[in-house]
Structures are given as C-alpha cells and as structure tokens.
Amino acid sequence: MDTLRGKVAIVGAADTEVGKVPGLSSTELCIEAALRALDDAGMSKDEVDGLVTCNSMAEPHMYQAEVLAEYLQIFPRYCISASAGGGTTYSSLFHAANAIAAGVCETVLICLADSLRSGLSRDQAMQMQSSTGHREFEIPYGPTVPAYYALIARAHMDTYGTTPEQFAAVAVHARRHAARNPAAQMRDLISIDDVLNSRMIADPLHLLDCSLVSDGGAAVILTSASRAKNFRHHPVYLLGAGEGHSHEHISQAHDLTTSAAADSGRRAFHMAGLGPADIDVAGIYDCFTPVVLIELEDLGFCAKGEAGSFVAAGETALEGSLPMNTHGGLLSHCHPGHPGAIFALTEAVTQLRHAAGERQVGEAEIALVHAQGGIMSSHSTLILGRERD
C-alpha cells in the first residue's frame, strides 16, 4: 500500500453554485461540476477512462454512474457508484487511485452532487432523517440524525468536561472562514452567543451546531503522476490514504468518544511518512460541531479531551496552528449530503495551488482532509501535497 504514495495526482477541481439551486437537478449539478473540472484541467472528456459518483437522494437512478457516463457520452473502463455516506468522496478517491496504480484506468473523473435543499420536500427530508437507525434498537424510539450526534456530544461532555461554548467555537470559526469565501452559502458572522441562543435541536446541540442543508456539487480529476504535469495547474499529489470502520449503528458503537478516525488517520500518515505536525491546512468533517472535536483528537492533532480548548483558543482559525475548513465547511459553506466532503477536497486543492485569495494559508505544502459516514461509522483520511516526495 505504501507504493501508492505520489503515484496519482489531482489535475482538475471545480465546484458548482451551492445553497439553493432550484434551476438544476442533482444530475444536472453533477454534469455541471464535471464540465467545470474538465475545463479547469484543460482536458477533453474523451481523455477520461474512469468515472465515480455517488447515489443521489433527491434524484436516484438505479445505475447512477452509468447515467452520468451516458449523459457525458464517455465510455469508461472503470465506472462505479459509491456510497459511504459523508466519507464517500475520500473512499472513492482512494479506490480510484488504486485502480490507476493497478493499470485498470489512467484518468478518473470523480463527480458528486445532490439537491437536498430544492429536491426534497420537508416530509421526505424528515423521513430520510428518521430512517437511518437500527430497525430494532433505534428507529422504534424515534430519534433523528441530530439526536444520535447529541448522544455523542453528551458523552464527550460527561467524559472530558467539554462545554457548549467549545462546541460553538467550531461553528464560529467556520463562519469566519466562510465570510471570506464568496461561494459559501452562509457568510454573515456569528458569535458564541448566537450559537447558544439558536433554537435547540437535540440537547445539547443548537441549530447553529448543525450543518446546512444544501444543493450543490463538485468534481475532481485524478490521473497518473506520469501525466500530471501535462495539465493547466500545478498537480496536487496523493501522499497518503486510509480508512477505518468501527460500526454501522450508533447503538453498536464500542465507544462514543473515540472513533475509527484513529485508524484511518494512522494509516494515511503511515503511507505518507508524515505526522500531524506536518499538516499546513486541514478539512475536517463538521456535520455537527462535536464531531470535529473527536476527529481532531483521534487524528492526533490534540490529546483526548483537549480539542475543545484547542478550537476555543483559535488554533483552527486562519492564523492558528492548524487552519481548518477554510472554505467554511459543512456548517457554513454547504452540505448536500453524500457529496458534502468533496468541497473540503476542492478547497484543499485550491490551497495547495496557492489560489485561495484572502483565505489562503501562506504557501501551504501539505493538506489533510478527513470525512466520516453514518453516525461516526466509516472514516476516510487523505493527505495531499504539492510535491510527490
């Protein structure tokens, strides 16, 4: 597995408009993202011989990837629809990188989009939120997704003394970064008090502790390192990747305050030959504010129980030791469901190209992105760099 380091690179990356985009279906958003990424790379669709996408909640197709291939009129050797919840983007890229390294294909288009804001009615959205639990041990008791994450938040508070103010700091810093990103869905600054005074959703989580509901899509183009310098922008190389899987249903989790991010992160760092201190900028999955604290700890950026004070002290701000979610994250940029993590990936590419404008993190050389699917279930970590070695 170590031989995957530096073997592939991202040569194209692009987002669609996000937020409320009623003029485009989820399929059309996916196509728009793909065309923008191809244009960003300066390449023809006929150079693509691999395609990966995710299943759409708003506009499902039986064969999602094949529908996109047909729409684009490309005829790939490698074509797959992936589903790993919020971790879909990074798992997909890891698997596509292995396909390229194995010679199955040479250039893969990874495009993901959905229309959760415009494409689902309120009743459909609530049905989706309430149908994710274990059919015997969870669903009969009526919890929705925020309630499961509230359980995790309460466990972290009880174990480590974490405070609602520390959770709120995650949302405040995300919004400060979004305010510098013209593409973000929510850009008005918020305070700790704003978060704590927003409507209670599932104790102790308030509305502003919860990610957005959005339309939107993005795409990246992954190719072999031997081709990577033939395109328009400085390539961004995959240095490390790892996955970790601990459970499917939260009632079956062995520990509510430690996640399989510890496994995915360890594997990614090992492949890259790097450690947490080497990371210049990070994209950490922030579907709910307490998730960020657990992931920061499990990825090795903080000791257990210390992430709350780490974030509250401003260490994840642009001027901090670990600038995080510089695009605004799921809390302020957008969250269209399964594709949510791809925007942290396109932001990492932008940062490593040194093209992020007023939110640029110096001359960033190494980025880490991490995401999880389910209820802290399936974790994926990628480490990216401007150079192969």
Q: What is the pTM of this model?
A: 0.96
> Where in the chain are the domains?
2-119+212-385
Strand, helix or coil at 240? strand
**How far apart (Å, rounded) are the C-alpha atoms in residues 302 and 15?**
31
The architecture of the domain spanning 2-119+212-385 is: 3-Layer(aba) Sandwich (3.40)
**How far apart (Å, rounded) are the C-alpha atoms in residues 145 and 280?**
32
pLDDT of 139 reads 72
Amino acid at 203: D
**How far apart (Å, rounded) are the C-alpha atoms in residues 48 and 252?**
41
**How far apart (Å, rounded) are the C-alpha atoms in residues 369 and 350?**
13
Taking alpha carbons only, the member of 72, 16, 374, 308 closest to residue 169 is 308
pLDDT of 131 reads 65
pLDDT of 241 reads 97
pLDDT of 128 reads 64
Q: Phi/psi of residue 58, each to 5°?
A: -80, -30
pLDDT in tens, the chain (389 residues): 457 999 999 999 999 999 999 999 999 999 999 999 999 999 999 999 999 998 888 788 888 899 999 999 999 999 999 887 888 899 999 999 999 999 999 999 999 999 999 877 667 666 666 567 777 777 777 788 999 999 999 999 999 999 999 999 999 999 999 999 999 999 999 999 999 999 999 999 999 999 999 999 999 999 999 999 889 999 999 999 999 999 988 889 999 999 999 999 999 999 999 999 999 999 999 999 999 999 999 999 999 999 999 999 999 999 999 999 999 999 999 999 999 999 999 999 999 999 999 999 999 999 999 999 989 999 999 999 999 87
**How far apart (Å, rounded) are the C-alpha atoms in residues 301 and 58?**
36
pLDDT of 1 reads 47
Can you list the positions of beta strands (E) in the chain?
Answer: 8-15, 50-54, 78-82, 107-115, 200-202, 205-206, 215-224, 236-245, 281-284, 366-373, 378-385
